[in-house]
Amino acid sequence: MLFRTFGKTNEKVSVLGFGCMRLPIIDGDTTKIDEEKAVEMIRYAIDEGVNYVDTAYPYHGTGMGNGGESEPFVGRALKDGYREKVNLATKLPSWAIKTREDMDKYLNVQLERLQTDTIDFYLVHALNAETWENLKKLGISEFLESAIKDGRIRYAGFSFHDKLEVFKDIVDYYDWSFCQIQYNYLDENFQAGIEGLEYAADRDLGIVIMEPLRGGKIVKNLPSEVMELFDRAEAKRSPAEWALRWIWNHPKVSVILSGMSIMDDVIENIKVAGEALPNSLTEKELTTISDVKKVFNDRIKVNCTACEYCMPCPAGVNIPKNFAYYNEYSLFVTPEREKELKSAYRLIGEKERADRCASCGECESHCPQAIKIRQELKNIAELFA
């Protein structure tokens, strides 16, 4: 196992972190963790050198508003001396905070669920512009300082889902020790992206990467053109290894979280984590990834940057969200995956879907990308009908 320095904390963390969001389950029920398999996996990983274990209040639950089964499971899995071998990370459910007292309430509940006195790396979960403004007003800085002072947490960080400018504002507001961002070879310019990664690292924050495999989408059932590129490369690697090595090649990345669901994933990821040094990919290997990215990018249907200048829509259509699902479908569609990707579109509320478009054209007058929004919405409505 390789280790890297975790920003200003100077802690040494394994380059691979065990993400406890996609643990093996029973009968397809996310609230029923297969504890025998999951304990075997997490303890094997720790025995092989993984010293960063990540969970969160809602993981393996019925929704973001409820406490899931991941935290209690992790508390049980880290018995028998395993808690002392790892840095434990969990997250304050930012969306559920209504008062300053709520912050202490959730943290204290999490300490009980995890059966620990201290959380090593405590994150404010899934920050965006709205939740961040609320937390600032309620005193998030004072809460974090008091929790560090009384020993309930060691280091404070945040995870993030919003635009780059919001990310920079959050980084500059508080003396964070680390941050967690979505990053992979298809998301270099998504949310915080590479510019945000560099911005935070230059301020000596530890960098945690989530969704390195884009929820598994850049691992399984890939387009044939992508697989041909990987197959032609001199280095024979699985799509997962290519994706992980590309991130670990960046010297400012501290740890990659992998949500491993089967033991084979654990074994493969640990093997790669013992070899993936920073700046170790050759020019030919980087070219392979660049060619793969081009194949995916050529599949993108709408060049939408989610600037939201087209919003609000008079008819209530969530234009950027429709384009996001349309592009996701176009990027990853294969015969095996078509039904899954079409079903995902249902996550958009009926009143926000493309078929609600009244063709007024107001959106097009504001679009800096000159997208023919009305026609594209018509295409989306027909595709996902």
pLDDT tens readout for residues 163-173? 999 999 999 99
Q: What is the CATH number of the domain that holds 240?
A: 3.20.20.100
Q: Is the pLDDT of residue 205 over 70?
A: yes
Assess if residue 179 is contained within a domain: yes
- Are 245 and 281 in contact by the 8 Å Cβ rule? The answer is yes
Question: In the beta sheet, which residues pair with residue 53?
Answer: 18, 88
Q: In sequence order, what DSSP letters do the residues of 5-22 get, joined into one string? A: E-GGG--EEESEEEETTS
Between 220 and 18, where is the model more confident? 18
Mean pLDDT of 277-302: 94
Q: Is the pLDDT of residue 89 over 70?
A: yes
Q: In sequence order, what DSSP letters do the residues of 189-256 get, joined into one string? A: TSTTHHHHHHHHHHTT-EEEEE-TTGGGTTTSS--HHHHHHHHHSSS---HHHHHHHHHHTSTT--EE
Same domain membership, residue 336 and residue 264? no
**CA atoms of 256 and 278, how far apart (whole Å):** 13
- Range of lowest pLDDT (146-150, 290-294, 303-307): 303-307
Question: In the beta sheet, which residues pair with residue 18?
Answer: 53, 258
Q: State the amino acid at position 39 in one-letter form.
A: V
> Tell me: the pLDDT tens digits for 245-257?
999 999 999 999 9
Whole-model pTM?
0.87
Assess if residue 297 is contained within a domain: no
Residue located via tokens 């403004």: 133
Mean pLDDT of 286-312: 89
- How far CA 253 is from CA of 85, 176, 187, 281, in Å, comes to 22, 16, 15, 15
Final residue belonging to a domain, choices 288, 307, 329: 288
- In the three-class reduction of DSSP (H, G, I as helix; E, B as strand; rest coil), residue 4 is classed as strand
- The two tokens of residue 136 are 């600032």
Mean pLDDT of 101-125: 98
Same domain membership, residue 324 and residue 190? no
Q: Is the pLDDT of residue 262 over 70?
A: yes
Collect all residues with Cβ–Cβ distance below 8 Å to 298 and sequence separation of at least 6: none
Same domain membership, residue 168 and residue 117? yes
Final residue belonging to a domain, choices 273, 288, 303: 288
**CA atoms of 254 and 178, how far apart (whole Å):** 10
Question: How many residues does this entry show for the chain?
Answer: 385
Counting residues of the chain whose pLDDT is more than 70, the rounded percentage is 99
- The two tokens of residue 288 are 């392979």
Same domain membership, residue 335 and residue 257? no
Final residue belonging to a domain, choices 288, 307, 334: 288
- The two tokens of residue 145 are 């300082």
> Tell me: the pLDDT tens digits for 334-353?
888 899 999 999 999 999 99
Termini Cα distance of the chain? 48
Q: Is the pLDDT of residue 188 over 70?
A: yes
Assess if residue 298 is contained within a domain: no
Assess if residue 306 is contained within a domain: no
Assess if residue 312 is contained within a domain: no
- In the three-class reduction of DSSP (H, G, I as helix; E, B as strand; rest coil), residue 359 is classed as coil
Residue 241: what pLDDT? Answer: 96
Q: Is the pLDDT of residue 116 over 70?
A: yes
Counting residues of the chain whose pLDDT is more than 90, the rounded percentage is 86
Mean pLDDT (the chain, rounded): 95
Residue located via tokens 């679009």: 367
Q: Which segments of the chain does DSSP mark as H helices, in order? A: 35-47, 70-77, 100-113, 129-138, 140-149, 164-173, 193-202, 224-232, 239-248, 263-273, 283-299, 319-332, 338-344, 373-383
Mean pLDDT of 227-251: 96
Same domain membership, residue 96 and residue 18? yes
Same domain membership, residue 336 and residue 195? no
Work out the pLDDT band at 65, boundaries 50, 70, 90: low
Assess if residue 281 is contained within a domain: yes
Mean pLDDT of 121-134: 96
Same domain membership, residue 338 and residue 270? no
Residue 66: what pLDDT? Answer: 76
Q: Is the pLDDT of residue 64 over 70?
A: no
How many Cβ atoms sit within 10 Å of the Cβ of residue 108?
12
- The two tokens of residue 155 are 């280091």
Same domain membership, residue 252 and residue 347? no
Residue 108: what pLDDT? Answer: 98
Collect all residues with Cβ–Cβ distance below 8 Å to 134 and sequence separation of at least 6: 97
Collect all residues with Cβ–Cβ distance below 8 Å to 212 and sequence separation of at least 6: 183, 184, 243, 244, 247, 256, 257, 258
**CA atoms of 312 and 286, how far apart (whole Å):** 41
The CA radius of gyration of the chain, in Å to the nearest whole number, is: 21
Same domain membership, residue 242 and residue 337? no
- In the three-class reduction of DSSP (H, G, I as helix; E, B as strand; rest coil), residue 120 is classed as strand
**CA atoms of 112 and 108, how far apart (whole Å):** 6
**CA atoms of 112 and 129, how far apart (whole Å):** 30
Peptide bond just before 312 cis, omega within 30 deg: yes
Mode of pairing for the β-strands spanning 3-5 and 12-14? antiparallel
Residue 221: what pLDDT? Answer: 82
Same domain membership, residue 205 and residue 76? yes
Work out the pLDDT band at 306, boundaries 50, 70, 90: confident
Same domain membership, residue 99 and residue 10? yes
Assess if residue 300 is contained within a domain: no
| Domain extent for 125 | 3-288
Number of domains in the chain: 2
Quick one: which of 185, 159, 295, 299 has its CA closest to 240? 185
Assess if residue 299 is contained within a domain: no
Residue located via tokens 């071998």: 85
Q: Is the pLDDT of residue 63 over 80?
A: no
Residue 300: what pLDDT? Answer: 84
Same domain membership, residue 326 and residue 232? no
